Amino acid sequence: MKYRILTGLFLLACAQVGFGQQYSNHVQVSQRVKSLESAHGSLVKLRSLAKTAGGKDIWVLEIGSGNRDNNPAVVVAGGVEGSLILSQELALGFAERLLAGASTDSVKALLASTAFYVFPNVSPDATEQYFAKVRYERSGNASATDDDRDGKINEDPFEDLNNDGLITMVRVEDATGRWKTHPADARIMVQANTEKGEQGKYILISEGTDTDKDGKFNEDGEGGVHFNKNLTFDPPYFEKGAGEHPVSEVETRAVLDYLYDRFNVFAVIAFGPANNLSEPWKYDRSKAGRIATGILEQDVKYNKLASELYKQHVKQKDAPAASPQKGDFVQWAYFHYGRQSFSTPGWWAPKFEVPKDSASAAKYKPNADKNVDVDFIRWAEREGQDVFVNWQKINHPDFPGKVAEAGGFKPFVKTTPPASAITKLTDEHTKFIIALAQNKPQVDLVNLKTESLDNGVSRVTVTLQNKGGFPAIAQVARNNNFVKLVKVNLVLSKDQTIFGGNKITLLNELDAGESKELTWLIKGKGKITLEAGAPQSGVKKVDVNL
């Protein structure tokens, strides 16, 4: 009930503000974050952590009241994969909705007990390609890279051969080609299955020419280093977009340095291509050795908890499989940062089912192999979305005398919903983040009891309890120096002495709902103070008079 009241109040406030439905370029994002700080100065601190090679700010919004760094915190990161344009709208939209309801008592209480570190976009160089004169999907920053390792920089870029402002594909009729049209829709290209006797008819390449005449097309254009390949866990060395080494980029270094200083973070939510919210990670004993490469057994139930919260509030079904990739952010946040780590792309096209009527049966040819591109274009056309450039003949200088055509899916359409969907998606994801934050680890000291013994000695007993839905320390973090242990500290005056028990007790685990009883024998009179907790679970203090 408390949660429903909270979300109802802040969503009412959001409706009164009237958020627009559009995708924002970097200038507009900067205006929006500055407006939040200006309108909510007591609750928001805006920082620019660095400027990218393209001169764009890496913004972070620190949201909460009081001393934010002393409260359990959630990180919300957009732009983890620069080509996912929706991600910055979901991250920044969350901050806007949360602050829009900040005048209500329930939101005040949340912000007084929880901090939020919101990165609207950690890949602004890449995202800006969505708004460029020539649009193509890009995940790399503006760093110059030699992707084909030939000693030259950016010498074979995309080229807009049909002058439509979009980089799509080129198909060329050729007897040696390995591609053919799909039987259900001739616009869709698929590889011929030679084992079934199928014969290819086309060469399929990205739109452009072989500028450096090495037999490859557009293999070394603008694109730079991908944030989501430049992290330290299982980095994809020597792969295009990975960088010269992990954390080679100014924005990657700035984000990681910032987060490693935030000991109060208990969970990270990334809007990126991996998805362990629609389908949580599964435990695999073979990946749980001395150096873990898979989620640990005790952490599985908390990924499942987050997944249940996600599916309760985000009303999208049939999510496609979306495994993590080498060097990505979601795995870094779990394996190296040691936090609860969750990722979702935020949107995917719904499954398309052919209506069961005679007219539809005649309209749609059977999609026997359940080709996802065929289903996607059918869904888009049913929804009135223009997602495809029909194949158009062009003169391609690398294929003289051959029939060449430019066309294919428009950039971004498979991962970017219509702008009209932004509001609903942001509302749903905001509800999820709030619900997850409300399940933060919370330590408390209960059942305090003092007993007077002989010779001026007192026995003090107290129960340390985690009232939250998440553990104070994830299993993966128990040997991680960047996650603080739960500390129980007994503060005495100079005339008091401990006869039994430890002045400082460190616990490397305190599960959700778990309790631990502690007892001390203390000689002396007056006040003592019990302090218990950790940055990521909060600290509770109680005074005791002996």
* DSSP string computed for 422-473: HHHHHHHHHHHHHHHHHT---EEEEEEEEEE-GGGEEEEEEEEEE-SSS-SS
Shared domain for 155 and 277, answered yes or no, is no
Percent of the chain with pLDDT over 70: 93
Shared domain for 387 and 421, answered yes or no, is no
Q: What is the pLDDT of residue 5?
A: 42
Shared domain for 457 and 508, answered yes or no, is yes
Query: Distance between CA 127 and CA 54 in Å, rounded?
Result: 11
Q: What is the pLDDT of residue 221?
A: 66
Q: What is the pLDDT of residue 14?
A: 47
Confidence of residue 66 (pLDDT cuts 50, 70, 90): confident
Q: What is the pLDDT of residue 273?
A: 97
CB 327 within 8 A of CB 229: yes
Cβ count near 93 (within 10 Å): 24
* In-domain check, residue 500: yes
Q: What is the pLDDT of residue 272?
A: 97
Q: What is the pLDDT of residue 150?
A: 62
Average confidence (pLDDT) over 213-223: 71
The CATH number of the domain holding residue 82 is 3.40.630.10
Shared domain for 459 and 361, answered yes or no, is no
For the chain, how far is it from start to end, CA to CA, in angstroms? Answer: 41
Q: What is the extent of the structural domain holding 470?
A: 443-545
The CATH number of the domain holding residue 513 is 2.60.40.10
Flag whether pLDDT at 201 surpasses 70: yes
Cβ count near 343 (within 10 Å): 27
Residue 377's beta-bridge partner residues?
none
Shared domain for 118 and 235, answered yes or no, is yes
- Summary mean pLDDT of the chain: 92
Q: What is the pLDDT of residue 18?
A: 43
CA angle 76, 78, 82 (to 5 degrees): 155
Shared domain for 344 and 360, answered yes or no, is no
* In-domain check, residue 18: yes
Q: What is the pLDDT of residue 144?
A: 85
Shared domain for 111 and 257, answered yes or no, is yes
* In-domain check, residue 140: no
Helix axes 2-17, 422-438, angle to 10 degrees: 150
* In-domain check, residue 99: yes
Nearest-Å Rg of the Cα atoms of the chain is 28
Indicate the Cα dihedral angle 109, 110, 111, 116, nearest 10°.
170
* In-domain check, residue 292: yes
Q: How many domains does the chain have?
A: 3
Confidence of residue 525 (pLDDT cuts 50, 70, 90): very high
Please tell me whether residue 302 adopts helix, strand or coil conformation. Answer: helix
Residue 205's beta-bridge partner residues?
170
Cβ count near 471 (within 10 Å): 25
Query: Distance between CA 162 and CA 145 in Å, rounded?
Result: 27
Helix axes 2-17, 86-100, angle to 10 degrees: 100
| Phi, then psi, of 150 in degrees rounded to 5 | -110, 10
Query: Distance between CA 74 and CA 213 in Å, rounded?
Result: 49
* In-domain check, residue 21: yes
* In-domain check, residue 322: yes
Shared domain for 479 and 515, answered yes or no, is yes
Shared domain for 292 and 385, answered yes or no, is no
Query: Distance between CA 208 and CA 403 in Å, rounded?
Result: 15
Shared domain for 192 and 74, answered yes or no, is no
- pLDDT, tens digit, 9 for 90 and up, residues 301-338: 999 999 999 999 999 999 998 999 999 999 999 999 99
Q: What is the pLDDT of residue 379?
A: 96
Q: What is the pLDDT of residue 479?
A: 85
What single string gives the DSSP state of each residue in 100-161?
A: HTTTSHHHHHHHHH-EEEEES-S-HHHHGGGGSSSB----B-S----TT-SS-SS-B----T
Shared domain for 318 and 255, answered yes or no, is yes
- pLDDT, tens digit, 9 for 90 and up, residues 371-402: 999 999 999 999 999 999 999 999 999 999 99
Query: Distance between CA 242 and CA 120 in Å, rounded?
Result: 22
Average confidence (pLDDT) over 13-42: 82
- pLDDT, tens digit, 9 for 90 and up, residues 128-142: 999 999 999 999 998
Query: Distance between CA 138 and CA 419 in Å, rounded?
Result: 19
Query: Distance between CA 69 and CA 62 in Å, rounded?
Result: 9
Q: What is the pLDDT of residue 361?
A: 74
Shared domain for 16 and 63, answered yes or no, is yes
* Higher pLDDT, residue 43 or 355: 43
* Higher pLDDT, residue 293 or 361: 293
Average confidence (pLDDT) over 163-188: 96
- pLDDT, tens digit, 9 for 90 and up, residues 443-456: 999 999 999 999 99
* Higher pLDDT, residue 260 or 106: 260
| Phi, then psi, of 518 in degrees rounded to 5 | -125, 145
Q: Where are the beta strands (DSSP E) in 336-403?
A: 340-344, 388-394
> Which of 346, 348, 344 shows the shortest CA–CA distance to 274?
344
* In-domain check, residue 245: yes
Judged on CB neighbours under 10 Å (0-12, 13-18, 19+), 317 is: exposed
- pLDDT, tens digit, 9 for 90 and up, residues 260-290: 999 999 999 999 999 999 999 999 999 988 8
